Amino acid sequence: MLTKWLNNAHSTVVFTGAGMSTESGLPDFRSSTGLWKQFDPKQLASIDALNNQLSDFMQFYLERVNSVQLVKPHQGHSILAQWEKQGLIEGIITQNVDGLHQEAGSTHVAELHGTLKRLHCQSCGETKDREDFIKQQIKCHCGGKIRPSIVLFGEQLPNKAFEDASHLSSFCDLFIVLGSSLSVAPANQFPLIAKEAGAKLIIINEESTDLDHYADLVINERKIGEVLSAVDQQLHSI
């Protein structure tokens, strides 16, 4: 059914969450073993922490910036990039900040929560070098703090990514969720925007989500790379 819908859709959008990256070796956030079980996000992944707990903030993100350099895209990332080149998908909306979609070759990616692949000065906005951050050079020449270019708790989503995601969701006829708990607003509204606009909604996630009852197809307890590989093989046999 998924293969048929994908093959027949005029515009397919893919929405990815942390579960997309766990198969590359990155930890997720909200599962029983996720990052938020070890750290309180509202304490460390926040503007308040950047301003008032700089040492703890930098240590947390130093580890995360390092971690994304050690992992590579898995087969699922590569298949999505290939589908984009073949015209099978219009674009990707992602909650992930690891840059793995782009590394795999995807070009139309709306990064709702920013990226750990870039850093900038909180004060002047100047782009900074990752190696300087790793060496814990956390002050800009202007005196501002150097930070990862991710969205922290207390910040708004980047306008362009939000607008791109809104457009993709409003005009697609197939919306595929991969590895998201769909528990974070406003990102979790995009599947509903697509559904209300008439798109079929597919949710592929290890665990159930609060939006499963809106979906036309739900796949649980299967690896994303495995599902995408099976669909890709079926597409080649059509």
Report the catalytic residues.
113
- Give yes or no for a contact between 184 and 153, defined as CB atoms under 8 angstroms apart: no
180 labelled ligand-binding: yes
Q: Both tokens of residue 71?
A: 């992992």
Report DSSP state, residue 176.
E
To the question of whether residue 18 is assigned a binding role by annotation, the answer is yes
22 annotated to bind ligand: yes
> Which residue carries 């293969």 as its tokens?
3
The response to whether 183 counts as a known ligand-binding position is no
- Helix (H) or strand (E) segment spanning residue 218: strand 217-219
Nearest to 210 by CA among 237, 233, 187: 187
Asked whether residue 30 is marked as a ligand-binding residue, the answer is yes
Residue 205 marked as a ligand binder: yes
Q: Annotated binding residue at 169?
A: no
Q: Is 94 annotated to bind ligand? A: no
For the chain, first and last CA: distance in Å?
A: 13
Whether residue 224 is annotated as binding a ligand: the answer is: yes
Instruction: Find out whether 29 is annotated in a ligand binding site.
Output: yes
The answer to whether 121 is a known ligand-binding residue is yes
- Report which DSSP code applies to 16: E
Q: Is 181 annotated as a binding residue?
A: yes
Confirm or deny that 124 is annotated as ligand binding.
yes
* Residue 31 exposed, middle or buried by CB count within 10 Å (0-12, 13-18, 19+): middle
Identify whether the C-beta of residue 101 lies closer than 8 Å to the C-beta of residue 109: yes
3-class SS letters over 91-159: EEEECCCCCHHHHHCCCCEEECCEEEEEEEECCCCCEECHHHHHCCCCECCCCCEEEEEECCECCCCCH
Using DSSP's 3-state secondary structure scheme, residue 7 falls into helix
Q: Which residues are annotated as a binding site for Zn(2+)?
A: 121, 124, 140, 142
List binding-site positions for nicotinamide.
29, 97-98
Residue ranges of the binding site? 18, 22, 29-30, 95, 97-98, 113, 121, 124, 140, 142, 180-181, 205, 224
Binding residue ranges for NAD(+): 18, 22, 29-30, 95, 97-98, 113, 180-181, 205, 224
